[in-house]
């Protein structure tokens, strides 16, 4: 995001200014109108340069700029309806989301998950770019991307490293979107279809490149290159936890068992039943990384279609490099 950090005098989205206020109570009320109710407490008597808030809404996302001009303690609790990506343009913040605590700066942004409690302290010179993402829209896109019904909310790692790699490129894409908006050729100007496409690209980029409880699901689904294999994959994904036989899969794909076996080996390097097994392992990992209350590994294995716990543990370790009990011990 260095393209947006060249000067402290630069204020993104200034044409969409919502307020510039020294009235502490007004600041809290107006920010709550765009986000959610929260506790806001100055770390010292509020004598800062005043709070500035700029906001432009899309369909599933909104672009925001916020600075308080004074050190501020912020406690929104659970965001419930949205994710919030926070990128410091200057200064920094200490951000706690669930059990994760992150010292955020220009190299390390943060993602606030809607189901985890949040507490923050923004430094006096902290100037934040905020990307608000609809929880419903992101969940819908995640299900489309992995081809599964997801019973648990997507949970991202709180720390978002944007100084290198694919996440830096994602942050630059967001910066380009802001620059286009400021030139009146972005949010507020795009037609609905174009805006929807850009928003999906930003959400899918975050899902694909940032660590979460479903990232392994996105990386694990190869796409077959012919119609019969795609039909078989769709059938397996739709019935992943049900007892499935090679006969039923071949019938759903409208081909012979022999053709199905050969097609999977040629295009995916797996048999259909190996593909089903790996998908069940991925689903088990997703459930273990998502739950708030620890469940027995056996219950999760049975729920995902496994009947032999020894083989489940063996295959799980081969796929993820750790025993399921190790994954299951991680608490959000």
**pLDDT tens across 185-197, in order?**
889 888 888 899 8
Whether residue 201 has pLDDT greater than 80? yes
Q: What is the pLDDT of residue 113?
A: 97
**Which two tokens mark 167?**
């996440």
Q: Where are the beta strands (DSSP E) in 135-175?
A: 159-161
Whether residue 295 has pLDDT greater than 90? no
Rounded to whole angstroms, the Cα distance separating 63 from 11 reads: 13
Q: What is the pLDDT of residue 223?
A: 60
Residue at token pair 């001009």: 69
Query: Which residue intervals of the chain are DSSP H helices?
Result: 24-34, 135-146, 165-182, 192-209, 215-220, 227-238, 246-253, 257-268, 272-290, 297-303, 309-320, 324-328
For range 3-17, the mean pLDDT: 76
pLDDT tier for residue 4 given thresholds of 50, 70 and 90: low
Q: What is the pLDDT of residue 206?
A: 97
Buried b (16+ CB within 10 A) or exposed e, 214-252: bbbbbeebeebeeebbebbbebbbeebeeebeeeebbeb
**pLDDT tens across 109-168, in order?**
999 999 999 999 999 999 999 999 999 999 999 998 888 899 999 999 999 999 999 999
- The candidate with the shortest Cα–Cα distance to 253, out of 266, 277, 272, 281, is 272
Q: What is the pLDDT of residue 189?
A: 86
Q: Which residues pair with 67 in a beta bridge?
A: 52, 127
Q: What is the pLDDT of residue 89?
A: 96
CB 24 within 8 A of CB 46: yes
Whether residue 93 has pLDDT greater than 70? yes
Q: Please report, rounded to a whole number, the percentage of residues in the chain having pLDDT higher than 70.
A: 93
Mean per-residue pLDDT over the chain, rounded: 90
**pLDDT tens across 257-285, in order?**
888 988 999 888 999 999 999 999 999 99
CA 31 to mean position of chain CA atoms: 23
**pLDDT tens across 74-83, in order?**
999 999 999 9
Domains defined along the chain, listed by start: 2-217 (2.60.120.10), 221-328 (1.10.10.60)
pLDDT tier for residue 7 given thresholds of 50, 70 and 90: low
């Amino acid at each position: 995001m260095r393209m947006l950090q060249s000067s402290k005098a630069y204020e993104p989205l200034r044409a969409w200014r919502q307020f510039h206020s020294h009235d502490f109570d007004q600041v809290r009320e107006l920010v709550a109108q765009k986000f959610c109710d929260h506790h806001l407490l100055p770390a010292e008597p509020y004598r800062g340069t005043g709070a500035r808030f700029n906001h432009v809404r899309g369909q599933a996302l909104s672009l925001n700029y916020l600075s308080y001009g004074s050190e501020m303690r912020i406690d929104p609790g659970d965001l419930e309806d949205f994710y919030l990506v926070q990128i410091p343009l200057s200064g920094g913040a200490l951000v706690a989301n669930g059990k994760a605590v992150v010292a955020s700066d220009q190299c390390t942004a943060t993602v606030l998950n809607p189901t985890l409690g949040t507490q923050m302290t923004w430094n006096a010179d902290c100037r934040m770019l905020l990307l608000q993402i609809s929880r419903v829209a992101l969940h819908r896109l995640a299900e489309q991307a992995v081809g599964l019904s997801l019973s648990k909310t997507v949970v991202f790692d709180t720390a978002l490293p944007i100084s290198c790699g694919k996440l830096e490129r994602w942050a630059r894409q967001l910066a380009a979107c802001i620059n286009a908006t400021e030139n009146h050729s972005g949010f507020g100007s795009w037609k609905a279809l174009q805006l929807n496409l850009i928003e999906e690209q930003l959400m899918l980029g975050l899902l694909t490149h940032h660590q979460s409880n479903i990232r392994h699901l996105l990386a694990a689904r190869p796409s077959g290159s012919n119609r019969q294999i795609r039909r078989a994959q769709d059938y397996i994904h739709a019935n992943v936890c049900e007892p499935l036989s090679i006969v039923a899969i071949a019938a759903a794909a409208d081909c012979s068992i022999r053709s199905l076996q050969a097609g999977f080996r040629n295009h995916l390097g797996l048999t259909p039943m190996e593909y089903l097994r790996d998908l069940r392992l991925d689903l088990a990992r997703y459930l273990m990384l998502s739950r708030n209350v620890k469940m027995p590994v056996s219950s999760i294995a049975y729920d995902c279609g496994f009947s032999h716990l020894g083989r489940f543990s063996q295959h799980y370790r081969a796929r993820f490099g750790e025993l399921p009990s190790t994954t299951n011990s991680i608490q959000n």
